[in-house]
């Protein structure tokens, strides 16, 4: 009987990361079948999917609460399919609000549960470590400091490195900053994020052009958002779709939404200003549960606040422009930041990341 895998990868970054692993697994297990939740890349690899990833890409406590019935129905559908099909292994990718609940419900079935891309419980939910220890058979984190966190908690953990080190073009990593580069704007990969982040980014782009004559390029996602409607009559801004890394590579500075993108930008070696805006209720709840001083993954991996972070009401055109201006006018500061960013490949890197992770998973097939 052919092996099958249930996959729950609700975020675009998770879809990207696991697709590389599944490609490796398919080489060793050509009859492998996959079903569950994922995005475009897993779909191309043949995953049978129960939902559109755009419906899954919801962020914020209140925003998730509004879709409670949708997620409850989806959770029950996944549970029903897992019980019926009895996959050889379950792989949960990031997406902790959904995946930790699912893990709890399926643990009694006796199917091995692997968690790839650790929930960031070291930031917001250390009490959940008991739950993870009980329900997860193998944790595969992607950040170097997470391995020790889980080992110290008595959880079976294997670390291979970060998939971005092999996913980004080698000649992009730690590349030379172009003298005539543009300002790159990365408002996110979810419609909610873009709606909140892009307006203030465009205000900043206008201010930067007025002062420094630097044009801006938005890293857009095709068919996700009507970027063109917001940049009408703004000849200092353009959009490039579905190639955010080229947008970053060809830039001299970046304004980005917090998230995986900060590591991509850091590996490419571009100074950035990290911003984040969310709903008022979500922000108030997050302030009470998140225990970290940084939200930018790039700062967390480097172990210090190298890049400026502007959150919620601090993420204004005036503040963002001022942070960019420091990069543009203070060469020593800019060079120090770039030098620190050039440490990232060694901190995150390892050879054959996805191949090694496929090996970890293959032990359960």
Q: Which tens digit of pLDDT belongs to each residue from 92-139?
A: 999 888 999 999 999 999 999 999 999 877 665 567 888 999 999 999
The whole-chain average pLDDT of the chain stands at: 91
Assigned token pair, 365: 């097939």
Please give the Cα distance from 74 to 115 (Å, whole number).
19
Structure tokens at 93: 């990718």
- Kind and range of the H or E run holding 311: strand 309-311
**What does the pLDDT average to over 228-234?**
92
Question: Mind listing the domains of the chain with CATH numbers?
Answer: 4-161+350-362 (3.40.50.2000), 182-348 (3.40.50.2000)
CA atoms within a 13 Å half-sphere pointing along the CA-CB vector of 349: 14
Please write the tens of the pLDDT for every residue from 333-346.
999 999 999 999 99
- Cα separations in angstroms, 64 against 27, 68, 102, 118, 318: 37, 6, 16, 20, 31
Neighbours of 198 (CB within 10 A): 22
Mean pLDDT of 250-258: 97
What pLDDT does residue 33 have? 97
**Backbone dihedral angles phi then psi of residue 186, each to the nearest 5 degrees:** -120, 90
Whether the per-residue pLDDT at 58 is higher than 60: the answer is yes
Token pair of 86 as six digits: 């009895």
> What are the pLDDT digits (tens) for 303-322?
999 999 998 889 999 999 99
Q: CA 26, 46, 170 angle in degrees (round to 5)?
A: 60
What span, in angstroms and rounded, lies between the C-alpha atoms of 230 and 293? 33
Can you read off the two tokens belonging to residue 319? 């503040």
Measured distance between the N- and C-terminal CA atoms of the chain, rounded to whole angstroms: 11
Report the pLDDT averaged over residues 208-218: 98
Assess contact for 146 and 307: CB atoms under 8 A. no
């Amino acid at each position: 009987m052919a092996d099958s895998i249930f996959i729950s990868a609700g975020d675009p970054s998770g879809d990207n990361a696991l697709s590389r692993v599944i490609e490796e697994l398919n080489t060793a297990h050509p009859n492998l079948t996959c079903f569950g939740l994922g995005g475009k890349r897993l779909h191309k690899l043949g995953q049978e999917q129960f939902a559109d990833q755009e419906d899954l890409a919801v962020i914020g406590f209140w925003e998730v609460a509004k879709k409670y019935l949708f997620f409850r129905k989806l959770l029950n559908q996944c549970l029903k399919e897992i019980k019926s099909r009895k996959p050889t292994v379950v792989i949960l990718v990031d997406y902790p609000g959904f995946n930790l609940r699912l893990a709890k419900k399926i643990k009694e079935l006796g199917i091995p549960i692997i968690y790839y891309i650790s929930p960031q419980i070291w930031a917001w939910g250390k009490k959940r470590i008991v739950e993870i220890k009980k329900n997860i058979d193998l944790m595969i984190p992607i950040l170097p400091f997470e391995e020790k966190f889980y080992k110290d908690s008595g959880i079976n953990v294997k670390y291979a490195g970060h998939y971005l080190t092999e996913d980004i073009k080698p000649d992009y990593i730690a590349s030379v900053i172009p003298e005539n580069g543009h300002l790159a704007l990365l408002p996110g990969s979810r419609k909610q994020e873009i709606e909140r982040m892009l307006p203030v980014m465009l205000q900043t782009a206008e201010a930067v052009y007025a002062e420094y004559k630097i044009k801006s390029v938005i890293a857009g996602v095709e068919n996700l958002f009507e970027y063109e409607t917001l940049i009408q009559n703004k000849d200092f801004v353009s959009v490039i779709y579905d190639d955010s890394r080229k947008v970053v590579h060809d830039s001299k500075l970046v304004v980005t939404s917090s998230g995986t993108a900060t590591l991509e930008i850091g590996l490419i070696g571009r100074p950035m200003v990290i911003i984040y805006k969310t709903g008022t209720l979500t922000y108030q709840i997050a302030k009470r549960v998140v225990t970290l001083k940084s939200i930018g993954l790039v700062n967390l991996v480097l172990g210090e606040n190298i890049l400026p972070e502007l959150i919620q009401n601090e993420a204004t055109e005036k503040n963002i422009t001022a942070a960019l201006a420091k990069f543009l006018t203070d060469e020593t500061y800019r060079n120090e930041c770039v030098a620190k960013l050039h440490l990232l490949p060694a901190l995150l890197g390892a050879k054959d990341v996805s191949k090694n992770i496929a090996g970890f998973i293959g032990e359960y097939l």
